[in-house]
Every structure is written in structure tokens, then in C-alpha cells.
Structure 1
Amino acid sequence: MNQLLAAWVWLIPNLLFAGIVDTISIESKVFGGLREVYVHLPDDMEFHSDLVRLPVIYVLDGQHEWFVNPVTDDIRYLQYTYEIPRGITVVIPHQDRMAECAIGKGLDTNEPLPLFTFITSELEEYLEPYRPNAYRLIIGHSLSASFALYAYQRGNGFFTSVIAHSPMDHLDDLFREFHDHPNLGVDRVSISTGGVEHDKDLFHREAFEKVASRYPEIRSRMTVYEADGVAHNAVPIVSNPMLLSKLFYSFSRRFGQIAQVDAEYRLVGQPDDPAVELGKIIQASTLGPYRYAPEIGEIFGLASRYQNSGFMEQAIAVYEVGLTYYPKLIDLYLSLYPLYLEQDEQLARNCLLKAYALIGNGPEPDPEMDALKEEIGTEIRNKGWSTD
């Protein structure tokens, strides 16, 4: 392979970031009309096998660009840096925010609020084609923050966690519910509040402090971020990155103890046999209580640690398990090819032919991919193999 072919191996994982947005139109029974939601997807979806199931983040107040745009950008960039998992972000606009998000009626009756039913029932079947897993986070601000807390409680396990930015509506009732039902999992609740100044977030901050002071054990188990000096509408913009990073801290370190490297990117110790190392990776492939496949960048990161220190068998094992999750990703075949070439020419040939076959199936012409296919074809011919 010449430099073009070798360089391409590391190109695609760095480009998988722009994202895809689908608009879903739903004829809602509970709302008695058409509703639209916007589904943000990672743009590596085309490479996923059915083994890759994605977490879902529901963002309320989708009609407010000033809120939604920073929140979805936080999610995207924190995904890019592996602070939080790649997943499905569902933006939900409201036609009548007060009617849909005010939770008073929902607290007074056993009947769920229409918005709750819409999210947990009607919307679910439309998300299934995207292969969601059971990890669900709901995010809201102010009135919709109280709704998010209500939905988290009402769902009784449907939502894995909640981020509520500056809630105030029926806050006492919500805290009492956490107090009376310890099984609701208050440790997976994140709340932010703004500045105490009158022109910042005084009323919401005071309401929170008043209620939280009556339930100190509940507050101590929550993750609370006090955005001092920050105005009400700026609270989610300032707080969201902090709370997301805190919530997914264990995810961001899930492979941190495997194949540890020093400042020179060399392994600090002798790795175990490939099967044992792979077992560690599979065991760590979780998100909270759920299984969550290694992401593409994590596959390449782990393999490169072994490869850079000369442990090629371990690197091969990582790339091979990557193929079970991402069987259409050309990079994996091109990464395995030179490693196989040192051990088994037939495996190397099959690997390169698979990469060759995967190129050129897109709907639009792609000069870069055409150049890569030509390069691979040259390599195949130089080895005396056939592309047929």
C-alpha cells in the first residue's frame, strides 16, 4: 500500500461527526393532531450492525432555538470528545407549552399527562427503526424541567436519568415524591439553578433552595449545579455541559483501565492474551446498567494502543470484534489487512477484497473514494489476486 491507502485508515473515524437530522411526523391521538419531532443521529449509522443499540436523549422545548441549539451542540461536541455516548437525540417542540408542560393536573390524577403518553408510547414505535437501547435521558428547562422530573418519576424506570434546568413548577410535590418513593432513583437526577440576583434567576433559585432545605437527604443525593451569576435563560447553556459530563463520567472512563499507555503512547505493562484482553473490553462495554457497544473511535483507540507497542495479536482481536459491530466500515478492513498479511495471506486477501467491494455503492460520485478504490485495486493486482 502506498501513503494514500495507509492514510485513509485513520480518516473516516475523524469525519464521523456532522450528524443526520430526520423529521418525524406523528398523528397523535393524545394531542388530537399532527406532531413533528426532530431526530438527531450520528452519521456513522450506515456502518452499524443490529448489535449497536443507541441511547436516547429527549430534549423538550424544541420550539425554542436559543435552548435547543446549545443543548444539541453540547451533546454533539461532548460525543465527539467521548465524554458522552453517541446516540439518538430527540427534539420535541411544543405547540402550547403551558398546557403541555404544566404538571399540576398530572399530580392530581392517576391519568398521565398527554405529553408523557406521547413520549413514552406514541413516539416509541417511530424510534425503533433507529435501534434505541433502554438508556433514556430527558432534559428540560424551567416549566419543561418540572415536566421532565414528573416524567422521570411517572415513568418508574422508563427514563434512566433526568436533567432539569432551573425548575420551579410544583417543586415541593416533586421533592416529596422522591422522599416518599426512594426507589425512584434520585441519584440519577441532575438539577441546575441560576444566580441569586434579582435580574438573574432569583425566584427559581429561591424556590429550589426553600424546597431543598426541607429535604436535605434528597438534595445530597442529587447532582446539583449552581450557576452563580447566570440569568434564568442562560442556565441551561452554562450548566448543560457540566451536568452531561458528570452524568456520563463513568462512560467516559469505561476503557480507561484497559491497555493503559504512558506519555509516549506505549503500554505501561504486559497485556494478557488476546482473548483475555478482549474479554475485558466486552465486559466494559456498558452504559449504566445496559450493554453498549464500543464506538468506532474507541475501537481504533484501543487497537492502536496495542499496535503501537507491538502487540499485534491483541490489535487484531480488537479490530475483529469491531467488525461484528461495524461490518461495513472500510477502515477496519484496511487496518486488518497489513496485520493479516504478516500472518495469513488468505485472510489478508479476503480483507482487501471486502474493502474493495464496499467502495462505490453510494448514490453520488465520490472522487476520494474512487481514488481509494483504484489504490486498493492496484494493491490487489500487485499481489496477483483478482477482484472478481
Structure 2
Amino acid sequence: MKVILIYIFTLLIGLGNIFGQEYSLYSNDKLSIESEYLQETIDLNLHLPETQAFSANTTKYPITIIFDSQHERTYPLIINSIDLLTSETQIPESIIIGVPFNFQNRLYLTSSQKRGNDSLSGIERMELFLFNELIPQLQNKYKGNGYISFIGHSRTAFLVNYLAFKRPDQINLAVSLSGFFNDAPLSLNTFHNFLADGSNFPYKFSYYYTAGTSLEESTYLVQYRNLDSLMRKKSISENVKVLFSITPNANHITNYWVSLPPILIDAFSSYNSILDSWFHDESKAESIDNPLQQFEMDLEQAGKSIGVNLNPNLTHIFSLASHYANKEDYLTAIKFFELGLDYFPEYLELYVEIIELYKVLHNTEKISSYKGVLREKSMNSLYLTEAEKQEVIEYLDKK
């Protein structure tokens, strides 16, 4: 398999041209929206997953919206954490949006304050911007699906609480870091009764909330402990997951990012369990008769657990294909790479792998067929340089 790895490395040079290597698996772009509801143009952070540019029209991605992206130190740490968790298949790839605030608008856009004779409060305007402008654009233009996550801290954690309360049927994961409830239209009892009423949740909904134990976190910790105490006395709908955690010794800003990775790991644990069970559960490994079918069943089951149709990660595809290739089960390895093509038909490395495996099998008809496809796609690629395209042609012309 040495030849395959050499050509994989070569073609990945072209992939690097897309993202500039700031993050391994995500872009680092800006998205400007002239918002009717915010009455201004807002510049957002946009992080598209590695595979999005190579994906099929039917391949859709969860949407993760992170508030307070103006923090120059904490926000990049959050994106780097998501980058790592994605590469380790702890979480699925998602479209990530960072929403910045400033001293002039943060209180207004996260509270019931109104300006002049406006019929809408600032928080209502933010809600309408998110659901009527931002999310539809991400779904229509960037292949976002209906799985929506919100992550907020302090005042924007209150915003997360408010959005969850207002639109539980449109939010799947709400993460409230160092937040509170004692601001209109919410209160502790109002939010508790909301979470305890299963009729509010027709779909899977997870609510995670956390606070640190430092003195500056005490206000948030008291409110969150009070909610936790109330929730422990209630049985909740099977569609709902509510989990409180404490970050020992964390101060206010530290809790913004330190507590998020374990929350995401827990929220998407069934996704991570796929490869974990394949490689570390001997009884399961021995019982698999149809590897591809089993993987698709595992992916579907994880999706049902989380509440979203999931895509395989490239790590899934390459790990399982390599596993069977090393066992000299080349046809099964090819099937996994072909599954990857169902989701990511423009990801050229997959064609190279399939060609090399068919060489091992001496299947000249398949080699010729896949070489023809790879040649056409390479010449039409927007991400390969002319030199890299020539390198691919030289590879394809070798006997």
C-alpha cells in the first residue's frame, strides 16, 4: 500500500490550497449578511468542513452557531477544539458560524431592551435574524441540514436559554456556559417548567449548562445549581437530555471554552462509538458478516440517537478501508472507498485508493474505468494547481 500513501500525500497538497492550514479540517472565512432584522451588515466567522467542497448535493451538514466570536483568544481555542474532535471522529463535521458582539450591541441583542418606538426588542431581532436570515442561507447555500446547535457564554448563554425556550422544535443542542435565567421573559421556574414539559419537544433536544467554582462564577453557579436541583425531582421526556456540570476552579472567561469539549464529546458520543466498537470490541468484530452493511447500520443508529442523518467522516472511510486492505480483503476495502464517493464524489484521493486496490486484484477493466473518471475530475478541479494536475496525469499514464 506504499504507493497509495505517496499519491495521497501528493494530492493533499491541492487540498491545502483551500484552507491555508489555519485549521486542519475547517476553513477560516467571513460571511457578511446585510440583515433586515439587525438593520445593519454583520460580519460573521464562517468555518466550512474539509469535505464540503467535495461533497454530493445530497450530503448535508449540521449547523453549529457559536456566540461571542469577538473573543480573540477564546474563540480560536474553541474552533481548534472542534477541529481536533472532528479529526478524531468524536463529533461529526459541521458548518460552524461565529457570531460577534460588541460593547454597543451585546446587551441590546441579548435582552428585552427596545430602541425608540420599535415594536421588537433586541433579543427578538437577534432571534429573527438567526432563524429567518442566517440559518436559511446556511441551508440553501452551504449545505446545512436541520440539526441546529447554539453555544453561548454569560449574556449570550442567556440568549441560548431564550432561543431554546422560544424555539425548542427548531433547536437540537443548546449549550449554556455561565448563563442565567433572571431576565425577562425567563425566570428559573419558567425555564424549569419548560424543560419538564415533554410536549415542547417533538424532536431530540439536548441542553447542557455549566459554571465554574471561582468567586466570579458564583452568581451563575447558584442559578444553575438551583435548576439542577429542580430537574432532579422531575422525570423528563425521552426526547430530552438535560445535563449540568461544574468546571472546578474555572473563572468566567475560562469556562467559556474549557467546558465545551467534554460537552461536545458527550453530546455526540454515539458517533464516536462507531469506530471505537469496531476496533476495540472483539465480540462485535467477530460477529460482522457484512462490514459495509454493518457500518451503515451503525451510522444510522448513531443518527437516531443524536437526532440527525449523519455523514461518515473521512477517518471512518480510510480507517475501515485500510483495516480490510491489511487483511487482504480488497473488495471490502474498495466498498468502503466507494461509500466515501457516495458522500464526497469530488474527493480525488478516494479514486486513487480504489485504482491501487484494483491493481492488486489485476482488474484492468475497473482500473481503466476509475482512471478515466479521475482524469476528468482532476482536469476540472478548482483546487489542484496546473503542476498538480500534470502530476496526476503522469500517474494515470503509468502502466
TM-score by length of structure 1 reads 0.83
Higher RCO, Cα 8 Å, sep 6+? 2
Cα drift, residue 321 of structure 1: 1.9
Equivalent residue runs for 1:36-185 within 5 Å? 36-95=43-102, 96-102=105-111, 113-127=124-138, 128-170=140-182, 171-172=187-188, 173-180=190-197, 183-184=200-201
Structure 2: unaligned runs, 5 residues or longer: 17-23
For 2:181 and 2:73, how far apart are their aligned partners in 1? 21
Correspondent of 1:222 among 239, 242, 264: 242
Query: Are the structure 2 counterparts of residues 13 and 57 from structure 1 closer, same or farther at C-alpha, using a change threshold of 3 Å?
Result: farther
Give the AA of the match of 2:167. G
For 1:373 and 1:72, how far apart are their aligned partners in 2? 37
Q: Any idea what SS the aligned residue of 2:318 has?
A: helix
Cα drift, residue 336 of structure 1: 1.2
Equivalent residue runs for 1:196-275 within 5 Å? 197-198=214-215, 200-217=216-233, 222-258=242-278, 260=279, 268-269=285-286, 271-273=288-290
Query: Are the structure 2 counterparts of residues 82 and 201 from structure 1 closer, same or farther at C-alpha, using a change threshold of 3 Å?
Result: same
Q: Which residue of 2 aligns with 1:385?
A: none
Give the AA of the match of 1:272. D
Deviations 1:161-207 (A, max 9, x none): 11100112425132232234563489610011111x42x41221122
Q: Any idea what SS the aligned residue of 2:34 has?
A: strand
Q: Which residue of 1 aligns with 2:21?
A: none
Q: Which residue of 2 aligns with 1:348?
A: 367
Correspondent of 2:330 among 312, 318, 323: 312
Deviations 1:188-239 (A, max 9, x none): 10011111x42x4122112222343344336995212201111111112210
Cα drift, residue 302 of structure 1: 1.6
For 1:215 and 1:279, how far apart are their aligned partners in 2? 36
Q: Any idea what SS the aligned residue of 1:290 has?
A: coil
Query: Are the structure 2 counterparts of residues 83 and 11 from structure 1 closer, same or farther at C-alpha, using a change threshold of 3 Å?
Result: farther
Contact 2:61–2:145 (8 Å) recurs in 1: yes
For 1:253 and 1:294, how far apart are their aligned partners in 2? 13
Cα drift, residue 67 of structure 1: 3.6
Q: Any idea what SS the aligned residue of 1:90 has?
A: strand
Structure 1: unaligned runs, 5 residues or longer: 383-388
For 1:234 and 1:6, how far apart are their aligned partners in 2? 41
With 281-290 and 63-72 compared, the bigger mean Cα shift is at 281-290
Cα drift, residue 274 of structure 1: 6.2
Give the AA of the match of 2:350. L
Contact 1:13–1:296 (8 Å) recurs in 2: no
Q: CA RMSD in A?
A: 3.3
Contact 1:178–1:186 (8 Å) recurs in 2: no
For 1:234 and 1:219, how far apart are their aligned partners in 2? 32
For 1:354 and 1:294, how far apart are their aligned partners in 2? 23
TM-score by length of structure 2 reads 0.81
Query: Are the structure 2 counterparts of residues 241 and 276 from structure 1 closer, same or farther at C-alpha, using a change threshold of 3 Å?
Result: closer
Query: Are the structure 2 counterparts of residues 322 and 212 from structure 1 closer, same or farther at C-alpha, using a change threshold of 3 Å?
Result: closer
Q: Any idea what SS the aligned residue of 1:254 has?
A: helix
Correspondent of 2:395 among 361, 375, 378: 375
Q: Any idea what SS the aligned residue of 2:33 has?
A: strand
For 1:19 and 1:39, how far apart are their aligned partners in 2? 9
Cα drift, residue 271 of structure 1: 4.0
Cα drift, residue 280 of structure 1: 3.2
Cα drift, residue 356 of structure 1: 2.8
Q: Which residue of 1 aligns with 2:356?
A: 338
For 1:13 and 1:290, how far apart are their aligned partners in 2? 30
Deviations 1:227-280 (A, max 9, x none): 11111111122101111111111111135445x4689xxx94264246644653
Contact 2:172–2:205 (8 Å) recurs in 1: no
Cα drift, residue 9 of structure 1: 3.4
Give the AA of the match of 1:176. N
Contact 1:138–1:163 (8 Å) recurs in 2: yes
Query: Are the structure 2 counterparts of residues 284 and 222 from structure 1 closer, same or farther at C-alpha, using a change threshold of 3 Å?
Result: closer
Contact 1:47–1:327 (8 Å) recurs in 2: yes
Cα drift, residue 83 of structure 1: 0.8
Correspondent of 2:209 among 183, 191, 194: 191
Question: Percentage identity across aligned positions?
Answer: 20
Cα drift, residue 293 of structure 1: 2.0
Q: Any idea what SS the aligned residue of 2:271 has?
A: helix
For 1:11 and 1:242, how far apart are their aligned partners in 2? 35
For 2:12 and 2:316, how far apart are their aligned partners in 1? 10
With 277-286 and 69-78 compared, the bigger mean Cα shift is at 277-286
Count residues in correspondence: 370
For 2:244 and 2:349, how far apart are their aligned partners in 1? 42
Query: Are the structure 2 counterparts of residues 224 and 278 from structure 1 closer, same or farther at C-alpha, using a change threshold of 3 Å?
Result: closer
Q: Any idea what SS the aligned residue of 2:73 has?
A: helix
For 1:10 and 1:330, how far apart are their aligned partners in 2? 12
For 2:179 and 2:392, how far apart are their aligned partners in 1? 53
